[in-house]
Amino acid sequence: MGVPAMFRFLSKKYPKIITPVIEESSKDDEDGVQIPIDTSGPNPNGKEFDNLYLDMNGIVHPCSHPENKPPPETEEDMMLEVFKYTDRVIAMVRPRKLLMIAIDGVAPRAKMNQQRSRRFRTARESKEKEEDTKRLIAELEASGKPVHESLKNQKKAWDSNAITPGTPFMDILSASLRYWVQKKQNNDPGWKNLKIIISDAGVPGEGEHKIMEFVRSQRTSRDHNPNTRHVIYGLDADLIMLGLATHEPHFRVLREDVFFQDASSKGCRICSQMGHFASECSAENRANAAAIAAEKKAGEVSVLKPFIWLHVDILREYLAVELDPEIPDVKFDLERAIDDWVFLCFFVGNDFLPHLPSLDIREGAIDMLTGIWKANFKNLDGYLTTDGTVNLDKAQIILDAVAVKEARIFENRRRQEARRDENQKRRKLEVEESQRKIEEMMMNQPNSMPAGQATVTRGAFKNPTMQPPDLSLLTPLGTGRIDHAQSNSDIVANRKNMRMANLANKSAAASLKAQLLGNVATESDGASETTEDKAEDMEDVSISPSGKKRKADELIADNGEVSDDVRLWEEGFKDRYYEQKLHKDYSDNEFRREFVKSYVEGLCWVLLYYYQGCPSWTWYYPYHYAPFAADFERIDEYEINFDLGTPFRPFEQLMGVLPAASKAHLPENFQKLMTEEDSEILDFYPENFPIDMNGKKFAWQGVALLPFIDEIRLLKALERPYHSLTEEERLRNAVGHDVLFVSDGSKLYDELAMNLYSKRKLEKPFKITSKLSKGLAGYVMPDESFIPNSTIQNPLLSVDLEDIVNNRVLCVKYKIPKSKYVHKSMLLKGVQMNPPVLTSSELWEVKTGKNSTFRDNDDNRGSNRRGRGGYRGGRNGNNSKTNSPASSGYNQGPSTYGQSPSAYGSFNQSPFGPGSSTQTFSHLPQSNMFGQSSWNSYQAAPGPAYSHNAYSGASNAYPPQPSTQLRFDSGEGGYPSSSSQYPLPSKHTRFNQDGPPSGDDYDPYGIGNQYRHI
């Protein structure tokens, strides 16, 4: 999810969701040769896992432009890094059944706006670095100073924009991964029994969403094991939300611990030196960083970052306590409450919409929204969402409550920012005062070191970011105690000065070490939200280059504060916001209504994308900014409908997201459209574009004001160059398919070989079941490019890897099964929950809001006040103090943790597993989500009914007309027909009533045909 700090927020608020990964260390044989880890052995983490899913872009980015070492020389060298990284992840998880490798394909149009912004920024930053280097060289030469050879002969940085579907790089990546998995399945015991699916960049869809589509599809299989243990690797926080959205309780997210070493690395993420931020990094430091990285020893060993688990089941345990409103006579459904919580998080930010101006995760916005949801739970008369569909009348209640707080939030934010600015200025002055003392001490102190050593040390301090420690605040060795002895009161009084001196000392030491060892990090171009997250967490302390004391007003100028003319904290902010950001008058009600509708469409689109799949490939949010909460009025009157459409082809996406600086990744005739004066779409590719800081401090937080792509103009302009494509380019631009690899050690291998690669011709796709394959359902077809038992050639010409002779792995095309049922927000029948891990005191903290990050400060004194839609600081009301329960157990209200074998003891055991409601539909109103007919005491299909009291009143679901079944074989080139509408569960959707399903119509939820797509 596009929310920098989301992961940090969750890990701090719910600390037990994070645990370290235990890795087995490799050993060397007698000759010093490294012995590969035997991944067929028991998992060192004490838990075995069935399926591992790799969001591959989270591997490709750090391997192609790493932070802690020089980047690989060539793209083929990058593939070797990808192999090593993937091997390491496999050795940690050791999946026993299935490995899925998913690479980002063509994204929905809604995501392309963000991709375009990131890639244009990357090109702009690269150009600025190049200009900085040239300027520095010119200045050095003009002053007669020598220019380092590595600075002169600096190679142009590899363009990370190549990691986009349709580029030659992505072709190399796909071929390399196909070769590598077959090599491993032939030779590695830990890989031999795995079924491996590769969904490369030719298959439309983002990697993590292709994975989630697969997970949802397997739940509909008759033989699916509801206790399958899943692990997904990736760097983006949205994997956590997607894990929750599957309603598979045995789910973990694996990721690097990107914050390790934070305590000792509070420096600039561009040059790795102390005393300034990346946003303040000078041209000289940028150029020096590149020079140091260039001359770094090729064989230098870098420190491997450790990995961590994020336990979705433990997050569910926290949420089960936090979300329960404890209202008498109202049944609480954890699964639906989790869906609502995920939806509330979308308001704070996601990859498809800007967050509301008043909602910032660092200000406790998620906790505030959760409090509003709980306080209004009874008024909602149900849940905000239904299996991915937003109930707009209920969402209106939440937004109304936020609107009441909005002006006060802006005022509080302004006060906090003013306090931070004052503290920052004070800290800078303190540091500079310390540096002044250091300089005086160095000037007056006689040099007692050997000449050579003194030269090195003093030379180090010529670097403007490096300063020596203030030894005057310490007791030098060899001096008496009289002059330097301090009383306890003196120590306390001078503690701040000592801390600042120590900070300066550490800055100097770390900077010197970085310069001598070449410890320079390369700035990543944004594979995830993590880089931005780390940047904001660093202390804002700058060390003066001169060490001289400066006035506070000089610091203000140097700080580069951005003027905010909107002034959200002052009366009239709405008029100013609309005028300056949207160039509209706030009184223009018609525009405001359409503006808000677009945002509501976005909320509905995102939720469906997470729960059911892409509802429209062509929809996007056409603004750079979001409305105010108070602007959302009568949203239940909006008619929200999506046309499924078709994805862009790879070259079309490249033309939509790449800047002209990255044109080399496109065919030559396409490149001309980006640069030639007579191009009808030249305006799509500005070299310079404004960035609205929007009241933020860091450049990456600003809004890149790029023109939105006009799809009609783009596709029309591409008609001509399409005719000039070579065969290789046509293949790069074609729609691909998933492939499945199976080794000869499995029963499935024999079945596939006999049915797909024998002499008899296959008339239709061959169906594989979970029972036959031991955990995989779907359809397969022969892969025309594959020959069984042949030799697989190494695709990397410059890398010495062996060909695979007499290949014992089978490759087939794989198609994810499509269910006629929507994905239901419920646990499956037969699921066995993990034992609870939270202690009674931890549960008490969550229940009473002690771990909340939000305080509703009406009077700026930090009191928690309960009001309509307000945050409830504790169950007993305002500023209530509740004694912590005894350690024997936690038993307040309906939830009875520790009193039941189930992790969620308050729920009745049912055929769906612990945590599912077993009551039946009864007394529903005439207008309900199943249509206009009444469903009193509904018990239709065999098996218990799936039921929630809160389904009644879902009067604002969408679309307004019955929707067609989603088919992926009904459009040209394998795309769905553009006229298809996405099937949404709502009161408008009529369902077939032709008796219980059978065969391919297997009902995984035991709820009958009421949830079939028409």
Give me the mean pLDDT over the 370-382 stretch.
95
Give me the mean pLDDT over the 410-437 stretch.
90
Beta bridge partners of 921: 938
What is the model's pLDDT at position 27? 84
Give me the mean pLDDT over the 353-370 stretch.
94
- Those residues whose C-beta lies under 8 Å from the C-beta of residue 299, and which sit 6 or more positions away, are none
Question: Which two tokens mark 977?
Answer: 């027909």
Question: Which two tokens mark 80?
Answer: 């070797």
Of the pLDDT bands very low, low, confident and very high (cuts 50, 70, 90), residue 953 is very low
Q: What domains sit in the chain, N to C, each tagged with a CATH number?
A: 110-163+645-732 (1.25.40.1050), 903-945+953-1014 (no CATH)
What is the model's pLDDT at position 272? 57
What is the model's pLDDT at position 562? 59
Highest mean pLDDT out of 378-387, 509-518, 814-823: 378-387
Q: What confidence tens digit (pLDDT) does each residue in 896-909 have?
A: 333 333 333 333 33
- Those residues whose C-beta lies under 8 Å from the C-beta of residue 791, and which sit 6 or more positions away, are 803, 804, 805, 806, 807
Q: 3-class SS at 310?
A: strand
> How far is it, in rounded angstroms, from Cα 956 to Cα 639?
9
Considering the chain, what is the average pLDDT of its residues? Answer: 77
Asked whether residue 966 carries a pLDDT value surpassing 90, the answer given is: no
Of the pLDDT bands very low, low, confident and very high (cuts 50, 70, 90), residue 447 is low
> How far is it, in rounded angstroms, from Cα 470 to Cα 442?
9
Integer-rounded Cα radius of gyration of the chain: 30
Do 168 and 665 meet the contact criterion of CB atoms below 8 Å apart? yes
Q: What confidence tens digit (pLDDT) does each residue in 10-22 have?
A: 999 999 999 999 9
Residue pointed to by tokens 């024997």: 888
> How far is it, in rounded angstroms, from Cα 756 to Cα 783?
9
Listed residue (162, 198, 189) closest to 78, CA to CA: 162
Of the pLDDT bands very low, low, confident and very high (cuts 50, 70, 90), residue 367 is very high
Of the pLDDT bands very low, low, confident and very high (cuts 50, 70, 90), residue 283 is low
Least confident piece of the model among 290-299, 513-522, 836-845: 513-522
> How far is it, in rounded angstroms, from Cα 181 to Cα 538?
40
Question: Which two tokens mark 720?
Answer: 């001509």
Mode of pairing for the β-strands spanning 251-256 and 230-233: parallel
Question: Which two tokens mark 145?
Answer: 């100073």
What is the model's pLDDT at position 145? 87
What is the model's pLDDT at position 91? 97
> How far is it, in rounded angstroms, from Cα 400 to Cα 63?
46
What is the model's pLDDT at position 275? 56
Asked whether residue 123 carries a pLDDT value surpassing 60, the answer given is: yes
What is the model's pLDDT at position 288? 58
Least confident piece of the model among 19-33, 346-360, 870-884: 870-884
Give me the mean pLDDT over the 133-147 stretch.
88
Residues in the chain: 1014
Question: Which two tokens mark 742?
Answer: 């199976």
What is the model's pLDDT at position 978? 36
The verdict on whether omega for the bond into residue 959 sits within 30 degrees of 0, i.e. cis, is: yes
Least confident piece of the model among 243-257, 439-453, 490-504: 490-504
> How far is it, in rounded angstroms, from Cα 123 to Cα 665?
13
Q: First-to-last CA distance in the chain?
A: 32
Query: What is the three-state SS of 273-285?
Result: CCCCCHHHCCHHH
Asked whether residue 62 carries a pLDDT value surpassing 90, the answer given is: yes
Q: What angle do CA 835, 838, 841 make, to 5 degrees?
A: 145
Highest mean pLDDT out of 588-592, 820-824, 896-900: 588-592
Asked whether residue 4 carries a pLDDT value surpassing 60, the answer given is: yes
Count CB-CB contacts under 10 A for residue 995: 11
What is the model's pLDDT at position 473? 41
Q: Which is more confident, 106 or 538?
A: 106
> How far is it, in rounded angstroms, from Cα 715 to Cα 655?
10
What is the model's pLDDT at position 523? 38
Asked whether residue 478 carries a pLDDT value surpassing 50, the answer given is: no
- Those residues whose C-beta lies under 8 Å from the C-beta of residue 797, and which sit 6 or more positions away, are 76
> How far is it, in rounded angstroms, from Cα 155 to Cα 157?
6
Q: What angle do CA 46, 48, 49 make, to 5 degrees?
A: 140
> How far is it, in rounded angstroms, from Cα 222 to Cα 595?
45
Give me the mean pLDDT over the 493-497 stretch.
46
What is the model's pLDDT at position 617? 98
Q: What angle do CA 697, 699, 705 make, to 5 degrees?
A: 115
What is the model's pLDDT at position 556? 35
> How far is it, in rounded angstroms, from Cα 788 to Cα 753?
8
pTM of the predicted protein model: 0.76
Least confident piece of the model among 63-67, 560-564, 674-678, 743-747: 560-564
Q: 3-class SS at 485?
A: coil
Give me the mean pLDDT over the 561-582 stretch.
89
Asked whether residue 863 carries a pLDDT value surpassing 60, the answer given is: no
What is the model's pLDDT at position 699? 75
Do 356 and 402 meet the contact criterion of CB atoms below 8 Å apart? yes
Q: What angle do CA 294, 295, 297 make, to 5 degrees?
A: 115
> How far is it, in rounded angstroms, from Cα 883 to Cα 863?
19
> How far is it, in rounded angstroms, from Cα 38 to Cα 445?
60
Asked whether residue 23 carries a pLDDT value surpassing 70, the answer given is: yes
Asked whether residue 526 carries a pLDDT value surpassing 80, the answer given is: no
What is the model's pLDDT at position 28? 82
What is the model's pLDDT at position 672? 96
DSSP string, 935-971: -TTB--SSSPPP--GGGTT-TT-S-SSPPPPP-SSSS
> How far is it, in rounded angstroms, from Cα 875 to Cα 886?
18
Least confident piece of the model among 5-19, 600-614, 903-917: 903-917
Asked whether residue 156 carries a pLDDT value surpassing 90, the answer given is: no
Asked whether residue 227 carries a pLDDT value surpassing 50, the answer given is: yes
Question: Which two tokens mark 415?
Answer: 């006060």
